[in-house]
Structure 1
Amino acid sequence: MEGKRYLVPARLHRVEQELQRSRFITTVAPAPTVEEAKAFITRVREEFADANHNCWAYVVGPPGSTGMAGMSDDGEPHGTAGRPMLTALLHSGVGDVAVVVTRYFGGTLLGKGGLVRAYTGCVQQALENLPTTERVRKARLRIELEYASVDGVRRMLAAHEAETLSEEYAATVGYQLAIPVTRLEAFQAALLDLTNGQVLLEVLDPEE
Protein backbone atom coordinates (compact mmCIF):
# COMPACT_ATOMS: atom_id res chain seq x y z
CA MET A 1 0.00 0.00 0.00
CA GLU A 2 1.52 3.31 -1.10
CA GLY A 3 1.56 5.78 1.74
CA LYS A 4 3.35 8.64 0.06
CA ARG A 5 1.93 12.16 0.11
CA TYR A 6 2.15 13.93 -3.20
CA LEU A 7 1.01 17.00 -5.08
CA VAL A 8 -2.06 16.91 -7.32
CA PRO A 9 -3.84 19.66 -9.29
CA ALA A 10 -6.11 21.67 -6.99
CA ARG A 11 -8.54 22.52 -9.80
CA LEU A 12 -8.86 22.96 -13.54
CA HIS A 13 -6.16 25.25 -14.97
CA ARG A 14 -5.82 26.66 -18.49
CA VAL A 15 -3.18 28.63 -20.38
CA GLU A 16 -3.02 29.76 -23.99
CA GLN A 17 -0.21 30.73 -26.32
CA GLU A 18 0.48 31.29 -30.01
CA LEU A 19 3.40 29.55 -31.72
CA GLN A 20 4.17 30.02 -35.43
CA ARG A 21 0.61 31.35 -35.95
CA SER A 22 -0.95 28.20 -34.41
CA ARG A 23 -3.08 28.73 -31.30
CA PHE A 24 -2.38 26.30 -28.46
CA ILE A 25 -4.76 25.99 -25.48
CA THR A 26 -3.51 23.81 -22.62
CA THR A 27 -6.03 22.56 -20.05
CA VAL A 28 -4.89 20.67 -16.93
CA ALA A 29 -7.21 18.96 -14.44
CA PRO A 30 -7.16 16.58 -11.46
CA ALA A 31 -7.44 12.92 -12.51
CA PRO A 32 -7.73 10.66 -9.45
CA THR A 33 -9.02 7.78 -11.63
CA VAL A 34 -8.64 6.72 -15.27
CA GLU A 35 -12.41 7.19 -15.71
CA GLU A 36 -12.21 10.80 -14.53
CA ALA A 37 -9.19 11.46 -16.77
CA LYS A 38 -11.08 10.16 -19.80
CA ALA A 39 -14.24 12.10 -18.88
CA PHE A 40 -12.19 15.31 -18.65
CA ILE A 41 -10.56 14.65 -22.03
CA THR A 42 -13.99 14.08 -23.57
CA ARG A 43 -15.30 17.37 -22.13
CA VAL A 44 -12.39 19.36 -23.55
CA ARG A 45 -12.70 17.66 -26.96
CA GLU A 46 -16.38 18.61 -27.00
CA GLU A 47 -15.60 22.18 -25.93
CA PHE A 48 -13.09 22.59 -28.76
CA ALA A 49 -14.74 20.30 -31.30
CA ASP A 50 -13.73 22.66 -34.15
CA ALA A 51 -10.00 22.49 -33.31
CA ASN A 52 -7.55 20.68 -35.58
CA HIS A 53 -6.18 18.59 -32.71
CA ASN A 54 -6.99 17.83 -29.08
CA CYS A 55 -3.91 15.90 -27.97
CA TRP A 56 -3.85 14.49 -24.46
CA ALA A 57 -1.97 12.64 -21.75
CA TYR A 58 -2.67 11.58 -18.18
CA VAL A 59 -0.93 10.03 -15.18
CA VAL A 60 -3.14 8.47 -12.50
CA GLY A 61 -1.22 7.72 -9.30
CA PRO A 62 1.91 9.19 -7.70
CA PRO A 63 4.23 11.46 -9.73
CA GLY A 64 6.27 9.54 -12.27
CA SER A 65 4.21 6.34 -12.07
CA THR A 66 3.37 4.76 -15.43
CA GLY A 67 1.01 1.98 -14.28
CA MET A 68 -2.07 4.03 -15.21
CA ALA A 69 -0.96 6.46 -17.90
CA GLY A 70 -2.27 7.25 -21.35
CA MET A 71 -1.63 9.54 -24.32
CA SER A 72 -2.82 10.42 -27.81
CA ASP A 73 -1.39 12.38 -30.75
CA ASP A 74 -4.95 12.96 -32.05
CA GLY A 75 -3.88 13.22 -35.68
CA GLU A 76 -0.51 14.89 -35.21
CA PRO A 77 2.47 12.93 -36.62
CA HIS A 78 3.18 9.86 -34.47
CA GLY A 79 5.22 10.62 -31.35
CA THR A 80 5.11 14.41 -31.71
CA ALA A 81 2.39 15.26 -29.16
CA GLY A 82 1.12 12.59 -26.78
CA ARG A 83 4.52 11.13 -25.90
CA PRO A 84 6.25 14.47 -25.17
CA MET A 85 3.19 15.61 -23.19
CA LEU A 86 3.27 12.43 -21.11
CA THR A 87 7.02 12.80 -20.55
CA ALA A 88 6.47 16.36 -19.28
CA LEU A 89 3.81 15.08 -16.86
CA LEU A 90 6.02 12.26 -15.61
CA HIS A 91 8.78 14.73 -14.75
CA SER A 92 6.48 17.35 -13.22
CA GLY A 93 6.39 16.12 -9.61
CA VAL A 94 2.57 16.14 -9.82
CA GLY A 95 0.35 13.05 -9.73
CA ASP A 96 -3.29 12.30 -10.60
CA VAL A 97 -3.10 14.73 -13.49
CA ALA A 98 -4.57 14.95 -17.00
CA VAL A 99 -3.80 17.47 -19.74
CA VAL A 100 -5.28 18.30 -23.13
CA VAL A 101 -3.44 20.55 -25.59
CA THR A 102 -5.84 21.95 -28.16
CA ARG A 103 -4.33 23.22 -31.42
CA TYR A 104 -5.87 25.51 -33.98
CA PHE A 105 -3.56 25.26 -37.00
CA GLY A 106 -2.37 28.65 -38.22
CA GLY A 107 -0.97 27.67 -41.59
CA THR A 108 2.72 27.29 -40.69
CA LEU A 109 4.11 23.75 -40.49
CA LEU A 110 6.27 23.22 -37.40
CA GLY A 111 7.96 19.98 -38.44
CA LYS A 112 8.34 17.01 -36.13
CA GLY A 113 10.98 18.60 -33.90
CA GLY A 114 8.99 21.81 -33.69
CA LEU A 115 5.84 19.93 -32.71
CA VAL A 116 7.64 18.03 -29.95
CA ARG A 117 9.04 21.29 -28.57
CA ALA A 118 5.64 23.00 -28.84
CA TYR A 119 3.65 20.30 -27.06
CA THR A 120 6.33 19.81 -24.40
CA GLY A 121 6.53 23.57 -23.84
CA CYS A 122 2.74 23.95 -23.59
CA VAL A 123 2.51 21.38 -20.82
CA GLN A 124 5.55 22.75 -18.99
CA GLN A 125 4.16 26.29 -19.16
CA ALA A 126 0.79 25.16 -17.77
CA LEU A 127 2.46 23.23 -14.96
CA GLU A 128 4.61 26.21 -13.91
CA ASN A 129 1.62 28.05 -12.48
CA LEU A 130 -0.59 25.06 -11.74
CA PRO A 131 -2.42 25.40 -8.40
CA THR A 132 -1.71 22.23 -6.43
CA THR A 133 -2.80 20.59 -3.22
CA GLU A 134 -1.43 17.66 -1.26
CA ARG A 135 -3.03 14.26 -1.62
CA VAL A 136 -2.73 12.01 1.39
CA ARG A 137 -3.46 8.33 0.91
CA LYS A 138 -5.68 7.09 3.71
CA ALA A 139 -6.76 3.76 5.12
CA ARG A 140 -10.01 3.00 6.87
CA LEU A 141 -9.86 1.35 10.28
CA ARG A 142 -12.42 -0.19 12.56
CA ILE A 143 -11.57 -0.25 16.25
CA GLU A 144 -13.50 -1.60 19.20
CA LEU A 145 -12.53 -0.77 22.76
CA GLU A 146 -13.71 -0.40 26.34
CA TYR A 147 -15.42 2.79 27.55
CA ALA A 148 -12.50 3.48 29.92
CA SER A 149 -10.21 4.08 26.92
CA VAL A 150 -12.49 6.44 24.98
CA ASP A 151 -11.15 9.77 26.29
CA GLY A 152 -7.54 8.78 25.70
CA VAL A 153 -8.27 7.52 22.19
CA ARG A 154 -10.14 10.71 21.29
CA ARG A 155 -7.07 12.76 22.27
CA MET A 156 -4.91 10.49 20.10
CA LEU A 157 -6.99 10.95 16.96
CA ALA A 158 -5.96 14.54 16.26
CA ALA A 159 -2.29 13.79 16.91
CA HIS A 160 -2.40 11.08 14.22
CA GLU A 161 -4.55 13.09 11.75
CA ALA A 162 -7.31 10.49 12.11
CA GLU A 163 -10.84 11.37 11.02
CA THR A 164 -13.84 9.76 12.75
CA LEU A 165 -16.24 8.36 10.14
CA SER A 166 -18.71 6.74 12.54
CA GLU A 167 -19.19 5.87 16.22
CA GLU A 168 -21.18 3.05 17.75
CA TYR A 169 -21.94 2.64 21.46
CA ALA A 170 -22.98 -0.78 22.79
CA ALA A 171 -21.28 -3.10 25.30
CA THR A 172 -18.07 -1.64 23.86
CA VAL A 173 -17.36 1.45 21.74
CA GLY A 174 -16.77 1.03 18.01
CA TYR A 175 -15.22 3.60 15.69
CA GLN A 176 -14.60 3.71 11.97
CA LEU A 177 -11.65 5.98 11.21
CA ALA A 178 -9.80 7.30 8.18
CA ILE A 179 -6.10 7.78 8.82
CA PRO A 180 -3.11 8.66 6.59
CA VAL A 181 -1.37 5.44 5.60
CA THR A 182 1.94 6.94 6.74
CA ARG A 183 0.52 7.25 10.28
CA LEU A 184 -1.03 3.80 10.46
CA GLU A 185 1.82 1.90 12.09
CA ALA A 186 2.45 4.54 14.78
CA PHE A 187 -1.28 4.82 15.50
CA GLN A 188 -1.63 1.07 15.95
CA ALA A 189 1.33 1.00 18.35
CA ALA A 190 0.00 3.96 20.36
CA LEU A 191 -3.47 2.42 20.52
CA LEU A 192 -2.18 -0.90 21.83
CA ASP A 193 -0.10 0.95 24.41
CA LEU A 194 -2.98 3.16 25.55
CA THR A 195 -5.44 0.29 25.94
CA ASN A 196 -2.92 -2.25 27.26
CA GLY A 197 -3.78 -4.37 24.24
CA GLN A 198 -7.49 -4.38 25.07
CA VAL A 199 -8.62 -3.29 21.62
CA LEU A 200 -9.84 -4.91 18.43
CA LEU A 201 -8.42 -3.28 15.31
CA GLU A 202 -9.21 -4.09 11.71
CA VAL A 203 -7.72 -2.36 8.67
CA LEU A 204 -10.38 -2.02 5.98
CA ASP A 205 -9.72 -1.23 2.34
CA PRO A 206 -7.53 1.82 1.57
CA GLU A 207 -9.56 4.97 1.08
CA GLU A 208 -8.90 6.53 -2.31
Structure 2
Amino acid sequence: MSLASTIKSNPGLKKFVHGLIVSKRRSEPRRWVKWFVNPFVHKRGKNSLVKFYARLDVFPFNDFRLGENSIIEDFAVINNGVGAVLVGNNVGIGLSNVIIGPVILGNYVMLAQNIVISGLNHGFEDVTIPPRLQKVVTKQITINDNVWVGANSSITAGITIGKNAIIGAGSVVTKDIPEYCVAVGNPAKVIKKYNFETGSWERV
Protein backbone atom coordinates (compact mmCIF):
# COMPACT_ATOMS: atom_id res chain seq x y z
CA MET A 1 0.00 0.00 0.00
CA SER A 2 1.33 3.44 -0.95
CA LEU A 3 1.95 6.18 1.61
CA ALA A 4 -0.97 8.22 0.25
CA SER A 5 -3.32 5.21 0.49
CA THR A 6 -2.16 4.51 4.05
CA ILE A 7 -2.87 8.09 5.09
CA LYS A 8 -6.30 8.16 3.40
CA SER A 9 -7.37 4.87 4.99
CA ASN A 10 -6.58 6.04 8.54
CA PRO A 11 -8.94 8.88 9.64
CA GLY A 12 -6.76 9.95 12.57
CA LEU A 13 -3.58 10.01 10.50
CA LYS A 14 -5.39 11.78 7.65
CA LYS A 15 -6.58 14.52 10.01
CA PHE A 16 -3.07 14.94 11.44
CA VAL A 17 -1.41 15.21 8.01
CA HIS A 18 -4.15 17.56 6.80
CA GLY A 19 -3.41 19.81 9.78
CA LEU A 20 0.26 19.89 8.85
CA ILE A 21 -0.57 21.01 5.30
CA VAL A 22 -3.62 23.27 5.65
CA SER A 23 -3.74 26.40 7.82
CA LYS A 24 -6.29 26.10 10.62
CA ARG A 25 -9.73 27.54 9.70
CA ARG A 26 -8.31 28.77 6.37
CA SER A 27 -8.41 27.15 2.96
CA GLU A 28 -4.79 27.87 2.15
CA PRO A 29 -1.56 25.90 2.54
CA ARG A 30 0.83 26.56 5.39
CA ARG A 31 3.90 28.63 4.53
CA TRP A 32 6.31 25.70 4.66
CA VAL A 33 4.18 23.97 2.02
CA LYS A 34 4.19 27.09 -0.19
CA TRP A 35 7.94 27.56 0.14
CA PHE A 36 9.41 24.07 0.28
CA VAL A 37 6.88 21.65 -1.27
CA ASN A 38 4.77 23.29 -3.99
CA PRO A 39 7.71 24.54 -6.10
CA PHE A 40 8.87 20.93 -6.51
CA VAL A 41 5.39 19.40 -7.02
CA HIS A 42 3.56 21.80 -9.33
CA LYS A 43 4.68 22.62 -12.86
CA ARG A 44 4.98 26.13 -14.28
CA GLY A 45 5.74 26.57 -17.96
CA LYS A 46 8.43 28.72 -19.50
CA ASN A 47 7.72 32.47 -19.34
CA SER A 48 4.64 31.97 -17.16
CA LEU A 49 3.95 34.73 -14.65
CA VAL A 50 2.10 34.91 -11.33
CA LYS A 51 1.69 38.53 -10.24
CA PHE A 52 2.78 39.48 -6.72
CA TYR A 53 -0.72 40.02 -5.31
CA ALA A 54 -2.21 36.86 -6.79
CA ARG A 55 -3.13 34.21 -4.21
CA LEU A 56 -2.23 30.60 -4.99
CA ASP A 57 -4.02 28.37 -2.52
CA VAL A 58 -2.57 25.26 -4.11
CA PHE A 59 -1.88 22.06 -2.22
CA PRO A 60 0.48 19.18 -3.01
CA PHE A 61 -2.26 16.54 -2.86
CA ASN A 62 -3.97 17.83 -6.06
CA ASP A 63 -2.44 18.86 -9.35
CA PHE A 64 -1.79 22.46 -10.38
CA ARG A 65 -0.19 23.33 -13.71
CA LEU A 66 0.43 26.69 -15.36
CA GLY A 67 1.32 26.53 -19.04
CA GLU A 68 3.93 28.43 -21.02
CA ASN A 69 3.44 32.18 -21.49
CA SER A 70 0.39 32.16 -19.21
CA ILE A 71 -0.30 34.85 -16.63
CA ILE A 72 -2.25 35.07 -13.38
CA GLU A 73 -3.02 38.72 -12.65
CA ASP A 74 -3.07 40.47 -9.28
CA PHE A 75 -5.84 39.63 -6.79
CA ALA A 76 -6.76 36.42 -8.60
CA VAL A 77 -7.25 33.34 -6.40
CA ILE A 78 -6.50 29.79 -7.53
CA ASN A 79 -7.55 26.90 -5.27
CA ASN A 80 -6.96 23.22 -6.02
CA GLY A 81 -8.01 21.97 -2.58
CA VAL A 82 -10.90 19.85 -3.90
CA GLY A 83 -9.75 19.31 -7.48
CA ALA A 84 -6.92 19.88 -9.91
CA VAL A 85 -6.50 23.21 -11.72
CA LEU A 86 -4.79 22.74 -15.07
CA VAL A 87 -4.03 25.88 -17.09
CA GLY A 88 -2.88 25.64 -20.71
CA ASN A 89 -0.42 27.75 -22.70
CA ASN A 90 -0.90 31.45 -23.46
CA VAL A 91 -3.76 31.81 -20.98
CA GLY A 92 -4.68 35.13 -19.36
CA ILE A 93 -6.34 34.89 -15.93
CA GLY A 94 -7.58 38.40 -15.24
CA LEU A 95 -7.68 40.67 -12.21
CA SER A 96 -9.71 39.34 -9.27
CA ASN A 97 -10.62 36.02 -10.91
CA VAL A 98 -11.51 33.14 -8.60
CA ILE A 99 -10.83 29.62 -9.88
CA ILE A 100 -11.68 26.62 -7.70
CA GLY A 101 -10.99 23.13 -9.08
CA PRO A 102 -11.58 20.79 -10.64
CA VAL A 103 -10.99 23.09 -13.64
CA ILE A 104 -9.21 22.67 -16.98
CA LEU A 105 -8.40 25.72 -19.11
CA GLY A 106 -7.21 25.07 -22.66
CA ASN A 107 -4.70 27.10 -24.66
CA TYR A 108 -5.24 30.79 -25.41
CA VAL A 109 -8.16 31.08 -22.98
CA MET A 110 -8.80 34.74 -22.12
CA LEU A 111 -10.51 35.56 -18.83
CA ALA A 112 -11.44 39.20 -18.18
CA GLN A 113 -11.93 40.67 -14.67
CA ASN A 114 -13.94 39.46 -11.66
CA ILE A 115 -14.80 36.04 -13.06
CA VAL A 116 -15.75 33.09 -10.82
CA ILE A 117 -15.10 29.56 -12.09
CA SER A 118 -15.92 27.03 -9.41
CA GLY A 119 -16.16 23.27 -9.70
CA LEU A 120 -17.25 23.08 -6.06
CA ASN A 121 -20.65 23.17 -4.40
CA HIS A 122 -21.64 22.67 -0.76
CA GLY A 123 -24.42 20.26 0.12
CA PHE A 124 -27.58 21.77 1.62
CA GLU A 125 -29.98 18.82 1.79
CA ASP A 126 -29.87 18.45 5.59
CA VAL A 127 -31.42 21.62 7.05
CA THR A 128 -30.21 20.68 10.55
CA ILE A 129 -26.59 21.18 9.47
CA PRO A 130 -25.16 24.46 8.12
CA PRO A 131 -24.18 24.15 4.43
CA ARG A 132 -20.61 25.08 5.45
CA LEU A 133 -20.39 21.80 7.40
CA GLN A 134 -22.02 19.56 4.81
CA LYS A 135 -20.16 17.42 2.32
CA VAL A 136 -18.77 19.23 -0.72
CA VAL A 137 -19.68 18.10 -4.22
CA THR A 138 -17.35 18.66 -7.17
CA LYS A 139 -17.92 18.54 -10.92
CA GLN A 140 -15.29 19.14 -13.58
CA ILE A 141 -15.32 22.43 -15.49
CA THR A 142 -13.62 22.37 -18.91
CA ILE A 143 -13.01 25.54 -20.92
CA ASN A 144 -11.52 24.63 -24.28
CA ASP A 145 -9.02 26.45 -26.50
CA ASN A 146 -9.48 30.06 -27.63
CA VAL A 147 -12.43 30.85 -25.35
CA TRP A 148 -13.01 34.45 -24.23
CA VAL A 149 -15.00 34.99 -21.02
CA GLY A 150 -16.23 38.54 -20.38
CA ALA A 151 -15.93 40.43 -17.09
CA ASN A 152 -18.11 39.63 -14.07
CA SER A 153 -19.19 36.23 -15.41
CA SER A 154 -19.71 33.01 -13.44
CA ILE A 155 -19.11 29.48 -14.70
CA THR A 156 -20.90 26.87 -12.58
CA ALA A 157 -19.76 23.35 -11.71
CA GLY A 158 -19.89 20.65 -14.37
CA ILE A 159 -19.86 23.02 -17.36
CA THR A 160 -17.99 22.50 -20.64
CA ILE A 161 -17.40 25.44 -22.97
CA GLY A 162 -16.43 24.52 -26.52
CA LYS A 163 -13.45 25.97 -28.37
CA ASN A 164 -13.64 29.49 -29.81
CA ALA A 165 -16.77 30.30 -27.79
CA ILE A 166 -17.40 33.81 -26.43
CA ILE A 167 -19.15 34.40 -23.10
CA GLY A 168 -20.57 37.92 -22.77
CA ALA A 169 -19.83 40.09 -19.76
CA GLY A 170 -22.00 39.46 -16.70
CA SER A 171 -23.16 36.03 -17.88
CA VAL A 172 -23.95 33.07 -15.62
CA VAL A 173 -23.18 29.84 -17.43
CA THR A 174 -25.34 26.99 -16.12
CA LYS A 175 -25.36 24.76 -19.22
CA ASP A 176 -22.72 23.59 -21.68
CA ILE A 177 -21.89 26.05 -24.47
CA PRO A 178 -21.05 24.60 -27.91
CA GLU A 179 -17.94 25.57 -29.82
CA TYR A 180 -17.91 28.66 -32.09
CA CYS A 181 -20.87 30.25 -30.30
CA VAL A 182 -21.56 33.53 -28.48
CA ALA A 183 -23.55 33.16 -25.26
CA VAL A 184 -24.84 35.92 -23.00
CA GLY A 185 -27.21 36.47 -20.07
CA ASN A 186 -28.36 34.86 -16.82
CA PRO A 187 -28.68 32.02 -17.48
CA ALA A 188 -26.40 32.28 -20.51
CA LYS A 189 -28.01 31.47 -23.85
CA VAL A 190 -26.46 31.13 -27.29
CA ILE A 191 -27.26 34.17 -29.46
CA LYS A 192 -24.74 33.76 -32.29
CA LYS A 193 -22.92 30.96 -34.06
CA TYR A 194 -20.02 31.16 -36.50
CA ASN A 195 -20.92 30.17 -40.05
CA PHE A 196 -17.86 28.76 -41.80
CA GLU A 197 -19.54 29.01 -45.22
CA THR A 198 -20.12 32.76 -44.97
CA GLY A 199 -17.17 33.46 -42.66
CA SER A 200 -19.30 35.45 -40.25
CA TRP A 201 -21.03 35.31 -36.86
CA GLU A 202 -24.77 34.89 -37.37
CA ARG A 203 -27.70 35.22 -34.97
CA VAL A 204 -29.55 32.04 -34.05
Common fold, TM-score beyond 0.5? no
Of structures 1 and 2, the one scoring higher in RCO (CA 8 A, sep 6+) is 1
TM-score (structure 2 length as normaliser) = 0.21
TM-score (structure 1 length as normaliser) = 0.21
Higher share in helix: 1
Question: Is the radius of gyration larger for structure 1 or structure 2?
Answer: 1
